Amino acid sequence: MEIKPWLADFSQSKHPFIVAGPCSAESPEQLLTIAKAVQALGITTMRAGVWKPRTRPDSFEGNGSVAFQWIAEVKKATAIRFATEVATADHVEQALKAEIDLLWIGARTTVNPFTVQEIADALRGVKIPVLVKNPINPELALWLGAIERIYKAGVEKVGAIHRGFSSYQKSRYRNQPYWQIPLSLKSQFPDLPLIADPSHIAGTRSLIQEVSQKAMDLGYDGLMIETHPDPDNALSDARQQVTPASLGKLLEELRVSNPSSNNVLFVNKLEGLREKIDNLDQELIDTLATRMKLVEQIGEYKKENNVTVFQLERWQEIIQTRPEWATRQQLAIDFIAELFKVIHDESIRIQSEIVNKETPTKS
């Protein structure tokens, strides 16, 4: 799959590309107020949900197709572009008829390949951009599959939106970022525009600046930020929407770095440091190989003595001592805990293979 870079032509002159607007299109007055406010910030593309897939049936599910009339009026008054979510083939047809400028497929839709294919068929050959949000569950293949379906339908202006993933883990975020997943997507398709949705990742406006900056530090191409004239009284997702004034402050404070530098001193210094990292990584791998040899010996010894592979007391000792060692070296405890969980899982796998391997009988 070849993705052509289209964002530069579609974006406003500012970098990064910003899409801002309310979670839901609530009224003509609300849309016009926000359109004028975001335009004043130099933003040329506004989001507004026409249909809102909600978990509970009695929640506000959007105003439906009547909102397209409001959007048309705002577009005439301001010439701002509009983006909205589509979840069915019928949504696509209505949005195209209403001359919406950008469409996106939501996380609840991306999880269903049948629905995505129906949407892709309805989008066949359209010229406007189509963005695909990551699926709710943290699965890169599912996200990639949805993007491929849209691209194979002849849609050349394709992009991805990272809105975070559902998780049973307790977190300060509404949706876990799992940054490695979108970065893996970007590494496979460098020309695929990658937009962050800090509003849905954060779930609360107090964290949106932090998440936005993280996305910029990782080289994302843009942001989609929910913006409302009166967030506390919004009909949906009130906690994660910001005022236009707050959005302006966020963009003013946002630090956008260059992907590279032509400074010779910088390049030479960077290469020197990376060479040191390469050498250390080789040492790490050698050390891990030595550790796994010891794991194999332990597996053989457990097999000889008919002892279970998993030893709870030993695992409790590891998860207690390694973070303590990490603290002394000023390393992040969560990072070390996760690292040793992976190492322990691999150790269990190796020992299980050894224990379950049949011993050759002597002839």
Q: So what's the pLDDT on residue 362?
A: 56
Q: So what's the pLDDT on residue 107?
A: 95
If you ran DSSP here, which 8-state letter would residue 358 be given? P
Kindly report, residue by residue over 247-277, the tens digit of the pLDDT: 999 999 999 888 788 888 988 998 999 999 9
Helix (H, G, I), strand (E, B) or coil at 18: strand
Q: So what's the pLDDT on residue 63?
A: 78
Give the pLDDT mean for 141-162.
96
* Residue 58 in this model has a pLDDT that exceeds 70: no
CA distances in angstroms from 53 to 175, 211, 325, listed in the order given: 16, 24, 47
By CB neighbour count within 10 A (0-12 exposed, 13-18 middle, 19+ buried), where does 355 fall?
middle
Q: So what's the pLDDT on residue 60?
A: 72
**What mean pLDDT value characterizes the chain?**
91
Q: So what's the pLDDT on residue 199?
A: 97
* Residue 115 in this model has a pLDDT that exceeds 70: yes
Is 74 in contact with 80 (CB distance < 8 Å)? yes
Nearest-5° angle of CA 352, CA 357, CA 358? 150
* Residue 12 in this model has a pLDDT that exceeds 70: no
pLDDT confidence band for 228 (50 / 70 / 90): very high
Residue 202 identity: A
Q: So what's the pLDDT on residue 264?
A: 87
Q: How far is the C-alpha of 89 from the C-alpha of 150, rounded, in Å?
A: 12
Mind listing the domains of the chain with CATH numbers?
7-253 (3.20.20.70), 264-356 (1.20.59.10)
Give the pLDDT mean for 225-233.
95
Total count of residues recorded for the chain: 363
Q: So what's the pLDDT on residue 71?
A: 97
Give the position of tokens 């405890």. 333
Q: So what's the pLDDT on residue 358?
A: 74
Q: How far is the C-alpha of 143 from the C-alpha of 116, rounded, in Å?
A: 11
Nearest-5° angle of CA 130, CA 222, CA 71? 55
Helices (H), 164-263: 180-188, 198-202, 208-217, 244-253
* Residue 2 in this model has a pLDDT that exceeds 70: no
